[in-house]
Amino acid sequence: MSHTLSGTLRDVGEFNLVAALTAKFEQSDQVLVGPGDDAAVLRAPGEQVVASLDMLVQGRHFRLDWSAAADIGHKAAAENLSDINAMGGRPTALLVGLGAPADLDVTWALEFATGLAEEAASVGASIIGGDLTQSDAITIAISALGSCEHGVVRRSGAQRGDVVTLAGRQGWADAGFAVLARGFRSPRAIVDAHRQPQPPYDAGPQAAELGATAMIDVSDGFLQDLGHVATASGVAVDVEKARFEVPEPLQAVGAALGVDPMRFVLTGGDDYGLIATFPAGVDLPDGWRVVGRVLDSGDGTETGMVTVDGEPYEDAGGHRHFR
């Protein structure tokens, strides 16, 4: 049916749109009852089921002139799947709520659903249902569900003497935002990183299996999110600039915009990499790098503080709601 739909959401109507959207969502073996009933039913193979919810609002979290509908679908799914990853889990399902203006072209909704479905399929998750409503601006609410084979990893477990590690790209999406905000569309790799992040989906369960003591995904900014770990764990943390990778595309954007590219790395979010703490001496696999340490007691630092090369970092940045 989906290939025959045209016009606006008002023209198509709610039930035809629901049918076209759900036709895009293949169901895994974990789904006992998928879209079409009052609620979905999943198998829960482990004792620990993890759940998370995030919202995205047009003009606040995405712009239609910057990102295609499929890009927004990929990013909306990635943001939520990453939360499951950050607990050490593997995502199994997404529930999607979509509010949209009645005059939105139905093609946008179908392409958005394609992006959602592709991102979910990349980790073996299913889109098992959701809701549609009319709203003044496009609003997306997604609930993610997953399971943790090795037990959840929380923010609050970092111990003094642990190493601080990073998996995944960092600073790319923020550099892409800076490029787009100035009206440019290149370098393409940087802009694409803002449009479609690439979370290290296998790294979360891997960290849990390796005995990570704390973990969080980088959604709002590296230093800001690491600060959440320090505060929740009752510790202080120091990171070293020299331990971070600053790839050539970030250097090029920094030079073009007159910005220190390290600022993208230290304050940028939306790449959805993982910060994890491990006991010192852990043998880290490829894809993880040590970037700092949890300070020993008596170092004279305040609980919850994050320093860079031993000093407070001017304007730690990071995303904040309700400014």
3-state secondary structure 18-35: HHHHHCCCCCCCCEEECE
Which pLDDT belongs to residue 22? Answer: 86
Same structural domain for residues 199 and 231? yes
Is 322 a domain residue? no
177 lies in the same domain as 108: no
| Pair (11, 119) in one structural domain | yes
| All residues at 6 or more sequence positions from 38 whose CB lies less than 8 Å from its CB, including other chains | none
- Paired residues of 134 in beta bridges: 100
Query: Do 239 and 273 fall into the same domain?
Result: yes
Q: Which domain holds residue 63?
A: 2-147
Q: How many domains does the chain have?
A: 2
113 and 174, same domain (yes or no): no
pTM: 0.87
Segments of the chain scoring below 50 in pLDDT: 1-2, 322-323
Domain boundary among the residues 128, 147, 166 is at: 147
- Token output for 311: 């000093």
Q: Which two tokens stand for residue 318?
A: 């990071």
Give the pLDDT confidence score for residue 2 in this predicted structure: 42
Last residue of a domain, one of 119, 147, 175: 147
Task: Quote the tokens at residue 27.
Answer: 């169901």
pLDDT of the residue at 323: 44
Confidence at residue 39, expressed as pLDDT on a 0 to 100 scale? 52
Among 147, 168, 185, where does a domain finish? 147
